[in-house]
């Protein structure tokens, strides 16, 4: 056995690493993005249409393509991570550090709630449960946090933790509903959580129009701004203008907790056994119903914490557009969790990547006029490839990967 | 024969559980009836009156028989409606019928919406408009119901063959996008429908390819497809439609009145003065219904969805059947997207606003049957329409509560709180020949 392993070349060993599938899926995602740019930019299309007109035309078309795609991805990188010129300026003159660090700060700001919500989704996935309701749970967390943050007034060392706790509990409530329904009536969690998101979205508008929460003097669906004592303060002080805030530490704590929980605690072990083999779990005496309810409570609680982190750290209020829409945190969290193979470490990396894509997309739109939705297109393409490891392996002729990237016990609606 | 009758006789505990659920539906129906009686009936005061008008808003091509305004006493009408609802509830509770309970529930829900409308438009009420144009309400909700029926039919096609199609919303978006493009450039809705069907079929093919060949999780692929189509359409909207607005003029499909029948008051505008998409939808419902339950093809599809292994042993190509059904289902949803565009106008990002998920809910509420999906779609279409349009009546009930209706009722149904649904046994489970 070990003899055979010795003679495997480095290339063969590299080819069989599971992380490679993720890497190649990323690459394919960017290829899809480039194709979308090329097929929708008029000047590039015209150049390709005319490649038979002259000897220099094909070269021109290739150059235009590379220029367009290159500038899109370059501005994306500069907007999300680092602009070399700004950085060099800050390094040599000592001025302009906030400007040079803004891209990173923005990426971290976006990544913070995303990582928390995704870890929640990931824990559910590891238990074999699909929580599409993270968005609704995050909204509930945001509402609960906004209520505590704006309606009671306390010193910060009490107010901020209480606000975060309220958000967490809001999410727990949002998770318990589908959890209890699944455990005790057998309702499929995908349907329940999917429908639940819409119920919560309507509930959000209802609460925002209530006198208790609505911003005074407003007719619109917008909540009061929470007290300064309930806000997550900016990491480098308000004067720096950088939005990255103490939520970062909340996310880090969640990641460490999740790692400990899944890898070291006995309850986490029960969860993973349930996810890997429900029959074995039942045979070894694990209470399936309790696991379902608990995993939904934890997953929902983390989603709620993500919502309240977003609210207390970045927006400081909740309005009708909070986390709604195509790129709602809860939906991105599903894709982030899949990309990170449902493990806390991987999820943190994946959420940094997706946040960078989102932030960079905005910069790209400002600089090149290419709509920022391209970032979401790339994200979803990446996840399609990650969810289909066999396809990626066939495209790149990779060797067998030991584990499939997505280990989900696919179950029917009814079971 | 003997075996079949033995299997179909439910065991005593199961029957008791079933009756318990039927009873709980009856109780809920009764509560709705009581609420209607007290709030919409007695609560509106004896002097209040509600007026109903019947003339269609859009008179294109037809001169209907004009029907005068019907003025009713709000309180007494609603009391009568409430008593009818309570009578149905009592009947369910006493007889515990084995079938048709959900249909009675639907009737109660429709009566409830009607009573709500009458109550909202009563004289002395808060509404600036003191009448309900019943024809407009029905025509408006029929347009939404039509789109929902396309979507849930697509779901029936896919899920009866054992593939979960959560991407209906994405197929709607794709169909609406290309539909607007083709209709704006060619002014021909047949071309638009064909291209919309092709786009839907392509999305179905992607879903089928990834989930059947590569055994990806169908739900994940579906969710991701919806996200992708949402962002792609928003991207293309900015990149193509904004600089070239002539590709997205958003002309509405013309009404094609059926001679004579279109002039029947109320029923005419709702059923016989509709766009081609509406008539096509009726044909599709009939086709799918007949095909699934009366033909050899349907038997094979249902076998594949219920017990693929058994289907294989009798020589049915499971994967092939699934491919065909998912692609055809995608095409139907794609046409549904075009139909939505043709009734709502100009494409805008996100304007299907989760209708695909309501269609999924209608499919589940309709118990994976075309007929049930139609009933559910009509009910949900009505509730969505009222939620969107009740603002004009300034009713004190927040419209968001009405907007929750399809989702709450679906949650209640899948959890067995009211009724019980059973999906095709192999729905969502990948099939691998070993």
Interface predicted TM-score (ipTM) of this complex, two decimals: 0.85
Q: What is the CATH number of the domain that holds A227?
A: 1.10.3470
Note whether residue A143 is domain-resident. Answer: yes
Core vs surface per residue B246-285: b (16+ CB within 10 A) or e: ebbebeebebebeeeebbeebebbbbbbbbbbbebbeebb
Q: Rounded distance, CA A314 to CA A329, Å?
A: 14
Q: What is the pTM of this model?
A: 0.88
Q: Give the DSSP H/E element, type plus range, for residue B73.
A: strand B70-73
Phi, psi of A214 (to 5 degrees): -65, 145
Looking at residue A325, what is its pLDDT? 54
Taking the C-alpha atoms of residue B369 and residue A230, their distance in angstroms, rounded to an integer, is: 51
CA distance A162 to A175: 20
Contact check, Cβ <8 Å, A384/B238: no
Residues of B with Cβ-Cβ distance to A370 under 8 angstroms: 239
Strand partners, B72: B50
Facing residue for B227 by CB, picked from A130, A326, A388: A326
Residue with tokens 């976006």: A110
Best of B164, B219, B237, B353 to substitute, by most chain A Cβ atoms within 10 angstroms, is B219
Confidence of residue B434 (pLDDT cuts 50, 70, 90): low
CB contact (8 A) between residue A198 and residue B360? no
Distance CA A273, CA A276 (A): 5
| Radius of gyration in angstroms for the set of CA atoms belonging to chain A, rounded to a whole number | 23
What confidence tens digit (pLDDT) does each residue in A178-224 have? 999 988 888 888 889 988 988 998 888 888 878 788 888 877 788 88
A260/B21 Cα distance (integer angstroms): 43
Indicate the angle between helix axes A288-310 and A97-126, nearest 10 degrees: 170
What confidence category does residue B394 fall into, taking pLDDT thresholds of 50, 70 and 90? Answer: low
Q: Is B396 on the interface with A (CB under 8 A)?
A: no
Q: Is the dihedral of CA A313, A316, A321, A322 positive or negative?
A: positive
Residues of B in contact with A390 (CB under 8 A): 214-215
Is residue A67 domain-resident?
no
Residue A237 burial by Cβ neighbours in a 10 Å radius (0-12, 13-18, 19+): exposed
Interface contact B235-A371, CB threshold 8 A:
yes
Question: Are B176 and B359 contacting, i.e. CB atoms less than 8 angstroms apart?
Answer: no
Count of domains in chain A?
Answer: 1
A406 to B221: CB separation less than 8 angstroms, yes or no = no
Are the Cβ atoms of A181 and B230 closer than 8 angstroms? no
Q: For residue B427, which residues of chain A lie inside 8 Å, CB to CB?
A: 412-414
C-alpha A168/C-alpha A148 separation (Å) is: 12
Distance from CA of A303 to the nearest CA of B (A): 18
* Bridge partners for A163 per DSSP: none
Which among A198, A375, A387 is the nearest to B221, CB-wise? A387
List the single residue in B216, B350, B354 with the smallest CB-CB distance to A198. Answer: B354
Strand B49-53 and strand B131-133: pairing?
A: parallel
| Alpha-carbon dihedral B37, B38, B41, B46, rounded to 10 degrees | 140
Mutate to test the interface with B, among A40, A414, A415 (most CBs of B within 10 A): A414
Least confident piece of the model among A129-138, A239-248, B13-22, B245-254: B13-22
pLDDT over 50 at B4, yes or no: no
CA of B367 vs chain A CAs: smallest distance (Å): 12
Segment B105-162, tens digit of pLDDT: 888 988 998 888 888 888 777 667 778 888 888 998 999 999 999 999 999 999 999 9
Give the residues across from B133 on adjacent strands.
B53
Q: Where are the beta strands (DSSP E) in B25-64?
A: 49-53
CB-CB neighbors (< 8 A) of A334 in chain B: 220, 223
Are A331 and B210 within 8 A, CB to CB? no
What CA dihedral angle connects B238, B239, B244 and B247, to 10 degrees?
-80
- At the topology level, CATH places domain B135-399 in ABC transporter involved in vitamin B12 uptake, BtuC (1.10.3470)
**Which residues touch A385 (CB under 8 Å, ≥6 apart)?**
A24, A25, A28, A29, A391, A392
**A94 in a structural domain:** no
Determine whether the interchain pair B350/A325 forms a contact, defined as Cβ–Cβ distance below 8 Å.
Answer: yes
Q: Which of B238, B404, B430 sits opposite A410 (nearest CB)?
A: B430
Q: Which of B216, B401, B404 to mutate to test the interface with A (most CBs of A within 10 A)?
A: B216
Q: What is the pLDDT of residue B172?
A: 97
Contact A309, A172 (CB under 8 A): no
Q: How many CB pairs under 8 A join A and B?
A: 161
CA distance A266 to A281: 13
**Nearest CB partner across the interface for A198, out of B218, B357, B415:** B357
Measured from the Cβ of residue A94, the count of other Cβ atoms closer than 10 Å reads 8
- The reply to whether B230 touches chain A by the CB within 8 Å rule is yes
Q: How far is CA A55 from the centre of its chain?
A: 47
Judging by DSSP bridges, how do beta strands B256-257 and B273-274 pair with one another?
antiparallel
Neighbours of B243 (CB within 10 A): 10
| Helices A247-264 & A266-276 angle (0-180, nearest 10) | 70
| Cβ-based contacts of B236 with chain A (< 8 Å) | 40
- Which residues in chain B have their CB less than 8 angstroms from residue A195's CB? 357, 361, 406-408, 410-411
| Secondary structure of residue A214 in the 3-state scheme | strand
Query: Closest chain B residue to A125 measured between Cα atoms?
Result: B220
Q: Dump the DSSP string for A13-66.
A: HHHT-HHHHHHHHHHHHHHHHHHHHHHH-HHHHHHHHTTTTSTTHHHHHHHHHH
- CB-CB under 8 Å, A408 with B220: yes
Confidence of residue B427 (pLDDT cuts 50, 70, 90): confident
Q: How far is B287 from chain A (nearest CA, A)?
A: 25
- CA separation (Å) from A315 to A115, A206, A225, A249, A251? 17, 20, 9, 18, 17
Domain range enclosing A252:
110-356
State how far residue B218 is from chain A, nearest Cα, in angstroms: 8
CB distance A335–B227 less than 8 Å? yes
Residue of A nearest to B229 (CA): A377
How many C-beta neighbours within 10 Å does residue A155 have?
Answer: 8
Q: SS3 for A234?
A: strand
How many residues are given for chain A?
A: 415
Q: What is the pLDDT along chain A (415 residues), one digit of tens a residue?
A: 444 455 667 776 666 666 788 888 899 999 999 999 988 888 888 888 888 888 888 888 889 889 989 999 999 999 898 888 888 988 898 888 888 889 999 999 999 999 999 999 999 999 989 898 999 999 999 999 999 999 999 999 999 999 999 999 999 999 999 999 988 888 888 889 988 988 998 888 888 878 788 888 877 788 889 998 999 999 888 888 888 899 999 999 999 999 999 999 999 999 998 888 888 888 888 888 899 999 999 999 999 999 999 999 988 888 877 876 545 788 889 889 988 888 999 999 999 999 999 899 989 989 888 898 898 899 899 888 888 877 887 887 776 544 444 444 445 554 4
For residue A410, the distance in angstroms to the closest alpha carbon of chain B comes to 6
Q: How far is Cα B37 from Cα B148, in angstroms, rounded to an integer?
A: 31
Residues of chain B within CATH 1.10.3470 domain(s) are 135-399
Sign, Cα dihedral of A161, A162, A163, A168? positive
Q: Cβ contact (<8 Å) for A36 and B235?
A: yes
Neighbouring C-beta atoms of residue A197, cutoff 10 Å: 24
Best A413, A414, A415 member to test B by mutation, with max B CBs in 10 Å, is: A413
Show Cβ contacts of residue B162 under 8 Å, excluding neighbours closer than 6 positions: B304, B305, B306, B308, B322, B424, B426, B427, B428, B429, B431
**What is the 8-class DSSP label of residue B1?**
-
Q: Return the biggest CA–CA distance within chain A.
A: 77
* Residue ranges with strand state E in A152-217: none
**Which residues are CB-contacts of A297 (< 8 A; sequence separation ≥ 6)?**
A172, A175, A176, A179
Residue B397 has pLDDT above 70, yes or no: no
pLDDT-based confidence at residue B235 (cuts at 50, 70, 90): very high
Contact A192 B415 (CB under 8 A): yes
């Amino acid at each position: 056995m070990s003899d055979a392993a010795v003679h495997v070349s480095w290339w063969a060993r590299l080819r069989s690493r599971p992380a490679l599938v993720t890497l190649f899926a990323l690459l394919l995602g960017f290829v899809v993005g480039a194709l979308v740019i090329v097929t929708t930019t008029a000047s590039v299309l015209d150049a390709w249409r005319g490649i038979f007109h002259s000897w220099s035309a094909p070269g021109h078309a290739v150059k235009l393509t590379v220029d367009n795609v290159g500038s899109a991805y370059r501005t994306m990188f500069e907007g999300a991570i680092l602009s070399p010129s700004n950085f060099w300026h800050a390094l040599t003159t000592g001025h302009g550090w906030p400007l040079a660090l803004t891209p990173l700060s923005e990426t971290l700001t976006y990544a913070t709630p995303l990582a928390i919500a995704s870890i929640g989704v990931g824990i559910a996935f590891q238990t074999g449960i699909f929580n599409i309701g993270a968005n609704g749970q995050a909204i509930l967390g945001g509402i609960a946090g906004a209520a505590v943050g704006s309606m009671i007034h306390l010193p910060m060392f009490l107010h901020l933790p209480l606000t975060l706790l309220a958000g967490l509990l809001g999410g727990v409530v949002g998770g318990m509903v589908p959890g209890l329904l699944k455990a005790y009536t057998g309702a499929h969690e995908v349907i329940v959580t999917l429908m639940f998101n819409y119920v919560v979205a309507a509930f959000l508008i209802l609460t925002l129009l209530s006198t208790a929460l609505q911003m005074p003097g407003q007719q619109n669906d917008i909540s009061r701004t929470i007290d300064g004592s309930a806000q997550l303060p900016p990491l480098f002080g308000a004067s720096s203008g950088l939005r990255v805030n103490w939520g970062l530490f909340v996310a880090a704590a969640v990641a460490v907790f999740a790692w400990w929980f899944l890898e070291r605690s006995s309850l986490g072990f029960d969860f993973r056994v349930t996810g890997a083999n429900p029959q074995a779990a039942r045979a070894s005496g694990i209470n399936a119903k309790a696991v379902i309810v608990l995993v939904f409570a934890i997953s929902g609680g983390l989603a709620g914490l993500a919502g309240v982190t977003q609210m207390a750290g970045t927006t400081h209020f909740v309005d009708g557009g909070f986390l709604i829409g195509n790129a709602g945190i809860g939906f991105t969290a599903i894709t982030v969790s899949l990309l990170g193979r449902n493990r806390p470490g991987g999820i943190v990396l994946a959420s940094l990547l997706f946040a960078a894509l989102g932030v960079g997309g905005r910069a790209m739109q400002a600089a090149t006029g290419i709509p920022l939705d391209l970032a979401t297109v790339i994200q979803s393409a990446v996840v399609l490839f990650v969810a289909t490891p066999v396809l990626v392996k066939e495209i790149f002729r990779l060797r067998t990967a030991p584990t499939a990237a997505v280990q989900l016990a696919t179950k029917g609606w009814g079971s | 024969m003997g075996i079949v009758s033995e299997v179909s006789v439910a065991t005593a505990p199961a029957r008791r559980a079933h009756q318990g659920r039927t009873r709980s539906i009856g109780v809920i129906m009764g509560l709705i009836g009581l609420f209607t009686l007290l709030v919409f009936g007695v609560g509106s005061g004896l002097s209040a009156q509600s007026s109903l008008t019947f003339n269609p808003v859009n008179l294109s091509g037809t001169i209907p028989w004009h029907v005068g305004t019907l003025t009713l006493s709000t309180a007494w009408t609603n009391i009568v409606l409430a008593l009818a609802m309570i009578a149905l509830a009592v009947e369910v509770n006493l007889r515990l019928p084995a079938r048709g309970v959900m249909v009675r529930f639907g009737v109660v829900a429709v009566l409830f919406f009607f009573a709500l409308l009458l109550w909202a438009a009563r004289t002395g009420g808060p509404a600036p408009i003191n009448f309900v144009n019943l024809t407009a309400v029905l025509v408006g909700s029929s347009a939404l119901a039509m789109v929902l029926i396309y979507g849930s039919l697509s779901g029936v096609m896919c899920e009866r063959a054992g593939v979960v199609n959560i991407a209906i919303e994405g197929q709607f978006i794709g169909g609406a996008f290309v539909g607007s493009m083709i209709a704006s450039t060619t002014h021909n809705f047949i071309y638009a429908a064909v291209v919309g069907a092709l786009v839907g079929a392509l999305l179905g093919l992607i879903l089928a390819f990834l989930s059947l060949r590569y055994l990806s999780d169908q739900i994940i692929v579906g969710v991701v497809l919806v996200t992708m189509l949402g962002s792609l359409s928003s991207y293309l909207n900015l990149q193509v439609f904004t600089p070239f607005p002539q590709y997205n003029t958003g002309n509405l499909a013309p009404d094609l009145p059926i001679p004579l029948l279109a002039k029947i008051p109320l029923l005419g505008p709702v059923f016989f003065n509709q766009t081609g998409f509406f008539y096509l939808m009726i044909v599709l419902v009939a086709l799918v219904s007949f095909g699934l339950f009366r033909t050899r093809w349907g038997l094979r599809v249902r076998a594949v969805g219920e017990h693929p292994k058994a289907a294989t042993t009798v020589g049915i190509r499971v994967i092939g059947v699934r491919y065909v059904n998912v692609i055809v289902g995608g095409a139907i949803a794609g046409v549904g997207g075009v139909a939505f565009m043709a009734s709502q106008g100009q494409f805008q990002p996100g304007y299907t606003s989760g209708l695909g998920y309501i269609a999924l809910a209608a499919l589940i509420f309709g118990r994976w049957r075309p007929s049930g999906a139609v009933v559910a779609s009509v009910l949900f279409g009505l509730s969505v329409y009222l939620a969107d349009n009740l603002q004009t009546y300034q009713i004190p009930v927040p419209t968001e509560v009405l907007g929750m209706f399809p989702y709450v009722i679906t949650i209640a149904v899948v959890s067995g709180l009211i009724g019980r649904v059973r999906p095709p046994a192999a729905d969502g489970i990948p099939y691998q020949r070993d």
